[in-house]
Amino acid sequence: MKKALLSGFAALTLLGAAPAAMAEEEYLTSEEATEKYHKYPEHFSFPQSGIMGTFDRAQLQRGFQVYREVCSACHSLERVAFRTLTQIGYSEEEVKALAAEYEVQDGPDDDGEMYYRPAKPSDYIPSPYENEQQSRASNGGAYPPDLSLITKARPHGPDYVASLVGLGYTDEAPEDVQVSDGQYYNPYFHTVLLAMAQPLYEEQVEYADGTPATIEQMAQDVTTFLTWAAEPSMEARKRTGIGVMIFLAILIVVSYVSYKKVWEDVKK
């Protein structure tokens, strides 16, 4: 009788555990989910692409607007000084006015105390958080990366950023991918799950030039701005490279003509 009761209890226990085990088996492991659903970035035709490409100043300013109104709530841009914004089409007066909207820590003063003051064009764009610990505490343990070099730090950087924020949040997570609290599905992220919620929504910003603020448009605009932020001297580098190639081409022609002239009599 005792053995029968124990056998029945064991059977009930196994039956109760079976649904839970089966439920766990329905989900893919993180490695399996990555292998099955990860997508490589789509290719975008940015104006700055190619050896002759240059930045579109209007797009750079729209991208900076998206960064200010959306991305700057969590992400820093600590390697960009306000004064460099004149390179994307802002006047010095506009840069001064933009900088004055921010506060930066300075000091110590005569009493040895640190204080805050309005930013100047010579200051760098301040971080939304005072330190990494504060950043993690405000984002559920996740650390939003600085965006100054993000397009250089990721493979296919501009295409990756534009795909991630512009295309990756449109689909629901597949049924066999378990999305925990505080996680979001995005097939363009390397593990397909990340801690960043969808950042862009239709008409989220109002562009001064009247450009429709679609998700894809905002994604490409902010990506272009971040590409510039990572390499403000890109256009000068391309001009220098083209000049060097033209010089070398001329030098090759002159060298060949000189060679023919010098050796002409010898061959005869």
- List, for residues 116-163, the tens digit of each pLDDT value: 999 999 999 999 999 999 999 999 899 999 999 999 999 999 999 999
Mean model confidence pLDDT for the chain? 89
Q: What is the pLDDT of residues 160-171, one digit of tens each?
A: 999 999 999 987
Map residue 118 onto helix, strand or coil: strand
pTM of the shown model: 0.84
What pLDDT was estimated at residue 268? 62
Q: What is the DSSP letter of 106?
A: E
pLDDT bin (cut points 50, 70, 90) of residue 263 is confident
Amino acid at position 264, single letter? E
- Take residue 249 and report the two structure tokens written for it: 């081409």
pLDDT bin (cut points 50, 70, 90) of residue 24 is low
At the fourth CATH level, the homologous superfamily of domain 40-79+144-231 is Cytochrome c-like domain (1.10.760.10)
How far is residue 141's CA from residue 214's CA, in Å, rounded to a whole number? 31
pLDDT bin (cut points 50, 70, 90) of residue 267 is low
Average pLDDT over every residue of 54-76: 97
Of 148, 157, 140, 156, which is closest to residue 197 (Cα–Cα)? 140
Phi, psi at residue 185, to the nearest 5°? -85, 130
Average pLDDT over every residue of 165-194: 93
Map residue 22 onto helix, strand or coil: helix
Task: Name residue, tokens 């448009």.
Answer: 217
Domain ranges of the chain: 40-79+144-231, 233-268
